[in-house]
Amino acid sequence: MRVFNMAQEATNKLIREDFDAGPPSYTEIIPGLFLGNLTAATDIKWLKEAKVNYILTADSCPLPRKIQELLPNLTIKYVQVTDMPREDLLTHFEDSYEFIDHALQLTDKVLVHCYFGISRSATLVVAYLMKKYKRNFFDTFEEVKGKRPFVEPNAGFLAQLKLYEEMGFGIDNTNVQFKMYKLQIAADKVRKAKILPQTCAELIKPDPALATVRPEPTVYRCKKCRRIVASASNILPHIPREKQIWRHISSKRTSKQSKVSRDPLEPSKKEDQQSVEFCTKILFVEPLAWMPDITHNVEGKLNCPKCGTKLGSFSWIAGSQCPCGSKIAPAFYLVPSKVDWSNVVQNVQVTV
């Protein structure tokens, strides 16, 4: 009889042998939403008592399969992520929100956990509450910390939460800082693989000289052959002396850059200067389809696809040091003296 009880106890106690996450730790942040550690997520007795039917795991390893055998009504979502500042949690905020909100709307209980319940899972819970109640990052974070005092997302996750707030609690693919954020993620993969993975192919923007019925009115042309090489929306503005891989910059500092119809290389008007002055020494741009070498080389030159004139350079890893003192990485840049700005574009552009 004792042997049977020991076997049953071992079956109900799920552990991961690599580390010790400590005793079960969980906090109910709002009714039905628990934030906790791995031990709580594998505590079958507590999960049953608390009637937790949904678990969101943000960890380097998924939960043991056996947990669903012991709890057949359990629904699990797994986000594979390590607790490192350069890890991407931001692109998981939306589907994590849907998972948590679906559970709560069914009046079920949901546990969001990582290994210790301090950084990754706390970030996802803060992101959920920000979107759900349309509250700013600071107030939401303080609320969560007030209930679970030792939560402490790493600096990268905190910056992602601030960017999430700036984008209106969603993903805005036109946001300059989000573009730079995605490029950094791709650069980390290039650093490991030495080529751009196919999963990052969407970062390569269409050639602005391709045929289109709605071309952007503001473009940059090769000074020698007049071939269009970039549109205004492809420009990634930066601030002089900014030491940057990517960081949170308020939309107030970037919105004017995308709305102006004048050449951004010209001196800013007085009212623009009160907001921010962007550097005019180098034109950093998004990676574009006419740049053939960027998918299989770590760094190289950017030559005009029509006349072959060198227009600039690119570097996925080392980036580029602008004469203004700003460090941008990854970097795809055009030298201003090699291109001309134009705000007159025909209704149809033909690739040449």
Which residues have a catalytic role annotated?
114
User: What are the φ/ψ torsions at residue 183 (nearest 5 degrees)?
Assistant: -65, -35
* Residue showing tokens 């006419």: 290
Tokens read off for 345: 């574009």
Q: In whole angstroms, how far apart are CA 199 and each of 147, 161, 196, 247? A: 38, 24, 8, 23
DSSP class of residue 265 equals T
Q: How many CB atoms lie within 10 A of CB 247?
A: 13
CA dist., res. 19 & res. 108, Å (int): 30
**DSSP labels, 156-202:** HHHHHHHHHHHTTSS--TT-HHHHHHHHHHHHHHHHHHSS--GGGGG
**DSSP labels, 97-141:** HHHHHHHHHTT-EEEEE-SSSSSHHHHHHHHHHHHHHT--HHHHH
DSSP class of residue 77 equals E
Half-sphere exposure of 308 (CA within 13 A, CB side): 0
Ramachandran assignment for 313, one of left (phi > 0), alpha (psi -120 to 50 degrees), beta (any other): beta
CA dist., res. 11 & res. 44, Å (int): 10
